[in-house]
């Protein structure tokens, strides 16, 4: 059962919007490799604002994700792509409908 999540808000540097979008689209392949990350979304919130939402069954899975390849890639590209450090919020999931 999905109980926990993370939301990362990302603000692209001017002129880097397409690079951020491409970076997030390639993140999907990494997300498919994480067996303990059953839900992963890359989002465009506005012209320069992006986000990643992912959810987990337990805290160990969430922590593994925070130490995994997606988080490492995000932090490695942060200075190049983002106007400020990614804001990553832990979230408690209160309800979920999944029809997949």
Q: pLDDT in tens for each of the 100 residues of the chain?
A: 999 999 999 999 999 999 999 999 999 999 999 999 999 999 999 999 999 999 999 999 999 999 999 999 999 999 999 999 999 999 999 999 987 6
Domains and CATH numbers, the chain: 4-92 (3.30.70.100)
What pLDDT shows up at residue 48? Answer: 98
d(CA 20, CA 56): 24
For residue 22, count CB atoms less than 10 angstroms from its CB and return exposed for 0-12, middle for 13-18, buried for 19 or more.
exposed
What pLDDT shows up at residue 100? Answer: 66
Alpha carbon dihedral 87, 91, 95, 100, in 10-degree steps, equals 50
What pLDDT shows up at residue 99? Answer: 76
- Does residue 85 sit in helix, strand or coil? coil
Q: In degrees, to the nearest 5, what angle opens at C-alpha 5 toward C-alphas 35 and 21?
A: 80
């Amino acid at each position: 059962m999905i109980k926990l999540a993370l939301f990362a808000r990302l603000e692209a540097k001017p002129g880097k919007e397409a690079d951020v979008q491409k970076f997030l689209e390639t993140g999907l392949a990494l997300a498919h490799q994480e067996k303990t990350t059953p839900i992963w979304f890359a989002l465009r919130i506005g012209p320069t604002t992006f986000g990643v939402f992912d959810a987990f069954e337990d805290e160990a899975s969430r922590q593994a994700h925070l130490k995994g390849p997606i988080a490492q890639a995000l932090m490695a590209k942060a200075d190049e792509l983002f106007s400020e450090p990614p804001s990553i919020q832990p979230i408690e999931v209160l309800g979920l409908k999944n029809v997949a």
